[in-house]
Structure 1
Amino acid sequence: MILNQPYQVYQNMAVQTATPERLLLMLFEGAIRFCKEAIHALQTQNYETGNAKIIRVQNIINELIVTLDRDVGGELAQNLLSIYQYLQRRLIEANLKKDQSIIEEVSQHLKELYEGFAEAAKLVKGQETKHEHM
C-alpha cells in the first residue's frame, strides 16, 4: 500500500513506534472519536455512517478483548473483559435502536477507562525513569 498523504505516513509511524501503553491509549482515543462521530451521524439521521462508526468502535473493543492477558491480569483482566463485553452489548443495542444516548453512555465508560489507563501509564513511565537513574 502506497501512502501519498503525509498525515497517513505520520500516523503509520506513530503506531509503529508507539509503546504498548501508548498503543492502548490510541485504541481508546479512536473508540471515543468514533463514538462522537456515530452520535453526530445519528443526530443528522445518517444511519449508514452511524452504523459504520459504531462498528469501528466494536472492532476496537474486540481488539481490547483479544489483547487482554487473562493469565497475567487475573481478576483485573476478568473485570475488564466483563466491561468490554457489556460495552459490546450496548453498542449492538444502540445500533439496532439508533439510540445516541446509549453511545454517549459507552463513550463515557471509554473515557473513564482511558483516564485510568493514562494514569497507570504515567506511573509505569515514572517507575521506569526512576530505575534508569539508579
Structure 2
Amino acid sequence: MSIKRPYQTYRDNAVNTASGGELTLMLYNGCIKFIKQGIKDIESGNIEAKNTNIQKAQKIIQELMVTLDTSVEIAQQFMPLYEYILHQLKEGNIKNDIAHLEEALNYVTEFRDTWKQVIKQTRQTRYAQGAQV
C-alpha cells in the first residue's frame, strides 16, 4: 500500500495542476488506454473486463461531449464525431467486435495527436511572446 501512495499522490497533483488543455489530453490518453485494453480483453475472452474497460472509454467520450464549448464553431463539428465514436464503442461492446473498437480508437488517437500539437504550438507561442517582452 505504501508503494502505491506516492504514485497516487503524483497522479492527483498532475491532475490538480493541469491546464484545461492538459486535462483534455489526459482524457484522450485514458480513452485510448481503455479501448486498447477492451480489444485485448475480447481477444482473451475476458468479457467482463472488456465491458468494464469499454464503458470507461464511453464515459470519457461522454465527458468530452459534456465539456465541449459549443459556442465555438469547431466544437460544433466535434459533437457528431464524438457521437459516432460513442456509437462505435457501444457496438463494439455489444457485438464483441474489434473492428468497431479499432475505428473508435483511430479517431480518438487522431484527436489526441492533434490536441498534442495544439498544446505544443500554444506553448511555443506563449514562450515566444514572453521572450519578446
TM-score by length of 2: 0.93
Q: Unaligned stretches of 5+ in structure 1?
A: none
Residues 69-94 of structure 1 show CA distances to partners (whole Å, capped at 9, x for unaligned) of 111x11x1111111000001111111
Structure 2 SS opposite 1:70:
coil
- Does 1:103 find its partner at 2:104? no
Local SS of the residue matching 1:68:
coil
Deviation at 1:132, TM superposition (A): 1.5
**Equivalent pairs: percent with the same residue?**
33
1:44 aligns with 2:44: yes
Matched residue count: 129
Rounded to whole Å, the distance in 2 between the matches of 1:132 and 1:15 is 25
- Counterpart position of 2:15: 15
* 1:118 aligned partner: 116
Structure 1 CA distance, aligned partners of 2:38 and 2:125? 38
Structure-2 separation of matches of 1:100 and 1:12: 32
Q: Partner of 1:132 in structure 2?
A: 130
- The 2-side partners of 1:78 and 1:93 are apart by 24
Per-residue Cα deviation, 1:28-47 (whole angstroms, up to 9, x for no partner): 00000001110111111111
Q: Which runs of 4+ in 1 moved over 2 A?
A: none
For the aligned residue pairs, the C-alpha RMSD in angstroms reads 1.0
Amino acid at match of 2:23: L
Unaligned runs of 5+ in 2: none
